[in-house]
Structure 1
């Protein structure tokens, strides 16, 4: 065999005169399969961490046979320690949601006033008169945009007691209902009194309920809502500044709450820093229909059809009275 000279070899390399090895049909198919697997794996990873592919409108998993079809949203943003900054973000997201045809939007826990346990040693920074003005502004905004709004705020009642409160304003600008957080953390109890009621209320012919952040850890609260025939739950959260390992755990908790009680859930969390859960919309089978990116200020939306609650919901009302009858 004639040896190639160095100049010729250099010229061949320079001009990419490389003949690929001959491939058999089986090797080609094997490479194609590997490529497909790699693409699918990458897509799954992207979906888990960014929500891409989970926000398509009209996902069939969101549809009940009959019910109210509505476009819902969650407005995830970073809470500021002052009302004006938060209100500016809320107004911007409301305008964006309106342009997309949203009928009901949920914002984070204490989204209007900020989260005092993280930002201040005293709750005195919350000015009640300004909070009341901002709430009235949102009522007018809801009427103007024909959109229902769920928003959280630190609220002082006429007796001077502070509450971690979630408000529901309907599309007519009416303050339809409120809920005070029951299962608070120890540092929250330095500022707010524990809630004393679990109201369910009617909106557009369906039953709604509201819970706040840590309430999600207590199944009995969700079950009480289910027994009041709630079919759509609104969950406002400010779970941030903690451990990232909680993200999949709390996602699983929310999926279980939805599936175990047969209702849809719109869950909106603070965007950070270091969120412990991600804003998402769940259907009554516990599937995620839309999911925000991690630690990003973002609006997510989804079309859902909300009918009667579904799922395994045959209750044994005497379960808490049962004694342990196991033989010793």
Structure 2
């Protein structure tokens, strides 16, 4: 079974309309059946100065998300990052929009230090199903710094995720770029899953925008301050439990009180 994915990066701004204009330009290059992934905060905007949340126009944000939902009816699956306010609480989310109108949401579990006390953390690691031209595909989601917590990725793999999407907004000190890239390669290879990571485009990216195969080999990547996309074909038969099934679970086992 094959799936075509588009991984897109662009300079995420604090203007919802500007972000939507760029997202629309990318979606205009898609084909029916494509899976499209954008960076963390790609609709709402994102900043390490968490006071940016106070400037978000909630009505404009809601309208923007509805716009992307309608765009997905062109027979594509779209995953975007956005901060949202639900019942008075802020969450850093990844939201998936499917051709049938469904909206799937992941709430970031492991918050950045500057988010804590302002943004509420999620507490579940759901597996999402999306309908692709050749069948159903299972995916997991991680956001930004969660690449440093391999147990979360392992949990997703153990529970059936074939692809793990990583929505990222890591900019500022590009000397760490080899470290973050190495983490992503490890997450793919140790779990034998495809990893697609979309980062904010910036002069100093802490991590590349990258697609990695289940054997740990890089399929494509980019490091740039500009809008950029690449299209990759994922052969899902390469996903395997070969290493997972050899685990010494009698010695070490990942357990959790909440699985979904």
The TM-score with structure 1 as length reference comes to: 0.72
1:192 matched to which residue of 2? 119
For residues 173-212 of structure 1, the aligned pairs below 5 Å read 173-175=101-103, 177-204=104-131, 205-212=136-143
2:8 matched to which residue of 1? 75
1:135-192 deviation line (CA, Å, top 9, x unaligned)? 111111010x21100001111112x1100000011133321x2111111211122431
Q: Is the 8 A contact 1:142 1:171 kept in 2?
A: yes
2:164 matched to which residue of 1? 233
1:141 to 64, 67, 71: 71
Q: Is the 8 A contact 2:78 2:97 kept in 1?
A: yes
Deviates most, 124-133 or 269-278: 124-133
Moved over 3 A (4+): 315-322
In the alignment, structure 1 residue 218 sits paired with structure 2 residue 149: yes
- Which has more radius of gyration? 1
For residues 43-122 of structure 1, the aligned pairs below 5 Å read 68-98=1-31, 103-118=34-49, 121-122=51-52
Q: Distance in 1 between matches of 2:209 and 2:108?
A: 19
Q: Is the 8 A contact 1:117 1:191 kept in 2?
A: no
Q: Distance in 1 between matches of 2:211 and 2:47?
A: 27
Q: Shift of the alpha carbon at 1:307?
A: 3.3
**1:186 aligns to what SS in structure 2?**
coil
Aligned residues: 248
Q: Shift of the alpha carbon at 1:318?
A: 4.9
In the alignment, structure 1 residue 170 sits paired with structure 2 residue 98: yes
Q: Distance in 2 between matches of 1:317 and 1:133?
A: 47
Q: Distance in 1 between matches of 2:81 and 2:164?
A: 15
Deviates most, 187-196 or 73-82: 187-196
Q: Is the 8 A contact 2:40 2:199 kept in 1?
A: yes
Q: Distance in 2 between matches of 1:153 and 1:236?
A: 10
Q: Distance in 2 between matches of 1:228 and 1:104?
A: 21
1:253 matched to which residue of 2? 183
Q: Distance in 2 between matches of 1:276 and 1:102?
A: 31
Larger strand percent: 2
Q: Is the 8 A contact 2:46 2:52 kept in 1?
A: no
Q: Distance in 2 between matches of 1:312 and 1:238?
A: 30
RMSD: 1.9
Q: 1:215 to 1:319 in 2, by over 3 A?
A: farther
**1:207 aligns to what SS in structure 2?**
strand
1:107-146 deviation line (CA, Å, top 9, x unaligned)? 000100101434x635211122221211111111010x21
Q: Distance in 1 between matches of 2:236 and 2:22?
A: 29
Q: Is the 8 A contact 1:201 1:207 kept in 2?
A: yes
